[in-house]
C-alpha cells in the first residue's frame, strides 16, 4: 500500500509517500521562510498563495522520485487542521481533487496526530502506552496515548503555545524568523546569570501550562539590559521553559504511572529540552527533520487511518481548530 501525504497547515508545503513495506519512499518539503522573513512572521495570505504555486509540482516530483504513478497510490491523506484556514484549504482542495480524479480514498488528518505518529517513523519506536508532550507553534499538550486513536488529554496551555513564546521572545531579541531554532543557537553562547524568568504554573496540581507571562517578562528584561546580554537572556528564557515542560511531563508520568515519554512537534527539535526530558523518563523523539512540519508524518498517519477504515468522501474539509480525539476515522 502507498499513501500520499500532503501538509499545508502553515509555512511549509510538503508531501511524501509512505509504503507499508519500505516506509517513506519519497518526500518533498518546501519552506516558505524566505517569503515571510521580511515580515518577521507568517503572513497567512502569502502562505496560501505560495502553497497553491508549489504544491502540485512538489507532488509530481515526489511521485517521480519514488518512480510511482498515480495508479500506484492507494490513498491520499492531507492535514485537515488545525492551522491557517487558507493554507489548509489549499491542501484539502488539492488532496480531494486528486482523490476524485484518481478514484482513490482520501482522508483529513489532525496535524498534531501526524506530529505524534512521526515518532513511529524512527527507531527505536515507543511501545504503547506512553505519555506524549506535543510542543509546536500552536500547541502545548500532555496526552496519555494508549494506542493509535486512543488519546486522553492530561493538560495543555491555558494561553500561548510554547513555540509561540520562543518565536515572540526571539523577535524581541532581534532574531530572524523562525525564532525557535535561532534562540536555541543564541542560548548556546549564554551563561547562567542573575537573569531570572518565571516558571508559570510550575507548582499547580494540574499539568497545564501558561506561557504568555514569560513572553511579557522577556519584553521587560530585553528593555532593561544592554545588547551584550542577549545570549544570557536567551539562555535564561530557554532554561525556564525547558524546566517547566520537563517538570510537568514528570508530573504527567507520575499521575499515569507510565515510564515512556514521547516528545513531538517543532519545539521537540530543541536539544536542551530533549536533554532535560531524558532525565525523567525513557525518551523517544522523532528524527529532527520529522519534528517540524513535513509530509512524511501525514502520509504515515494516513496509512494508519486507512488500515482502520478505508472509506472516503470527497467533501473538502479544513478546520482551523478541533481536538485531536475528534479527527476523522
- Residues near ligand KG4 (CB under 6 A) are 10, 111, 136-138, 163, 166-167, 178-181, 184, 265-267, 269-270, 292-293
138 touches, from ligand KG4, Zn ion, none (C-beta below 5 to 8 Å by class): ligand KG4
- By CB neighbour count within 10 A (0-12 exposed, 13-18 middle, 19+ buried), where does 46 fall? middle
Placement of cell 479544513 in the chain: 318
Between 66 and 301, CB nearer to Zn ion:
301
Minimum gap (Å) between residue 13 Cβ and Zn ion: 13
Between 86 and 179, CB nearer to ligand KG4:
179
Between 241 and 281, CB nearer to ligand KG4:
241
User: Which parts of the chain are beta strand (E)?
Assistant: 2-7, 12-19, 23-31, 75-81, 106-110, 130-135, 140-147, 150-156, 260-264, 282-284
Between 104 and 115, CB nearer to ligand KG4:
115
Minimum gap (Å) between residue 269 Cβ and Zn ion: 11
108 touches, from Zn ion, ligand KG4, none (C-beta below 5 to 8 Å by class): none
Minimum gap (Å) between residue 295 Cβ and ligand KG4: 12
Identify the DSSP state of 209.
B
Angle, CA of 69, 117 and 237, to the nearest 5°: 125
- By CB neighbour count within 10 A (0-12 exposed, 13-18 middle, 19+ buried), where does 56 fall? middle
User: Could you list the residues that contact Zn ion (CB under 5 A)?
Assistant: 136, 293
Q: Three-class SS of residue 233? A: helix
184 touches, from ligand KG4, Zn ion, none (C-beta below 5 to 8 Å by class): ligand KG4
Q: Three-class SS of residue 323? A: coil
Minimum gap (Å) between residue 293 Cβ and ligand KG4: 4
163 touches, from ligand KG4, Zn ion, none (C-beta below 5 to 8 Å by class): ligand KG4
- By CB neighbour count within 10 A (0-12 exposed, 13-18 middle, 19+ buried), where does 123 fall? exposed
Minimum gap (Å) between residue 10 Cβ and ligand KG4: 6
Minimum gap (Å) between residue 180 Cβ and ligand KG4: 2
Minimum gap (Å) between residue 83 Cβ and Zn ion: 8
207 touches, from ligand KG4, Zn ion, none (C-beta below 5 to 8 Å by class): none
- Residue nearest ligand KG4 by beta-carbon distance: 266
Q: Three-class SS of residue 268? A: helix
Taking residue 256's Cβ as centre, other Cβ atoms within 10 Å add up to: 17
Between 258 and 277, CB nearer to ligand KG4:
277
Between 104 and 111, CB nearer to Zn ion:
111
Between 55 and 201, CB nearer to Zn ion:
55
- Cell numbers found for residue 107: 482522508
Please report, for residues 8, 31, 33, 255, 319, the alpha-carbon distance to residue 44 in angstroms, rounded to integers and kept in the order given: 11, 14, 13, 39, 15
Amino acid at each position: 500500500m502507498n499513501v500520499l501525504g500532503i501538509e499545508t497547515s502553515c509555512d511549509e508545503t510538503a508531501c511524501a509517500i509512505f509504503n507499508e513495506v519500505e516506509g517513506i519512499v519519497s518526500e518533498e518539503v518546501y519552506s516558505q521562510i524566505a517569503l515571510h522573513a521580511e515580515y518577521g512572521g507568517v503572513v497567512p495570505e502569502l502562505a496560501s498563495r505560495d502553497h497553491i504555486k508549489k504544491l502540485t509540482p512538489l507532488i509530481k516530483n515526489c511521485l517521480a522520485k519514488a518512480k510511482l504513478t498515480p495508479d500506484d497510490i492507494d490513498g491520499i491523506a492531507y492535514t485537515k487542521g488545525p492551522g491557517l484556514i487558507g493554507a489548509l484549504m489549499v491542501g484539502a482542495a488539492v488532496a480531494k481533487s486528486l482523490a476524485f480524479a484518481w478514484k482513490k480514498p482520501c482522508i483529513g488528518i489532525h496535524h498534531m496526530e501526524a506530529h505524534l505518529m512521526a515518532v513511529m517513523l524512527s527507531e527505536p519506536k515507543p511501545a504503547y502506552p506512553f505519555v506524549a508532550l506535543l510542543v509546536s507553534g500552536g500547541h502545548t499538550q500532555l496526552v496519555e496515548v494508549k494506542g493509535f486513536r486512543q488519546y486522553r488529554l492530561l493538560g495543555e496551555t491555558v494561553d500561548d503555545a510554547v513555540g509561540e513564546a520562543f518565536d515572540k521572545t526571539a523577535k524581541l531579541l532581534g532574531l530572524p524568523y523562525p525564532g525557535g531554532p535561532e534562540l536555541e543557537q543564541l542560548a548556546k553562547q549564554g551563561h547562567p546569570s542573575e537573569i531570572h524568568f518565571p516558571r508559570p504554573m510550575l507548582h499547580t496540581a494540574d499539568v497545564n501550562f501558561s506561557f504568555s507571562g514569560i513572553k511579557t517578562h522577556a519584553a521587560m528584561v530585553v528593555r532593561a539590559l544592554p545588547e551584550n546580554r542577549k545570549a544570557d537572556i536567551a539562555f535564561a528564557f530557554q532554561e525556564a521553559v525547558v524546566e517547566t515542560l520537563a517538570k510537568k511531563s514528570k508530573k504527567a508520568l507520575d499521575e499515569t504511572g507510565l515510564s515512556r515519554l514521547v516528545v513531538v512537534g517543532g519545539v521537540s527539535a530543541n536539544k536542551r529540552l530533549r536533554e532535560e526530558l531524558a532525565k525523567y523518563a525513557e525518551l523517544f523523539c522523532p528524527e529532527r527533520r520529522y519534528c517540524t512540519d513535513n509530509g512524511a508524518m501525514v502520509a504515515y498517519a494516513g496509512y494508519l487511518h486507512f488500515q482502520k477504515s478505508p472509506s472516503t468522501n470527497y467533501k473538502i474539509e479544513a478546520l482551523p481548530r478541533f481536538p485531536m480525539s475528534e479527527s476523522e476515522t
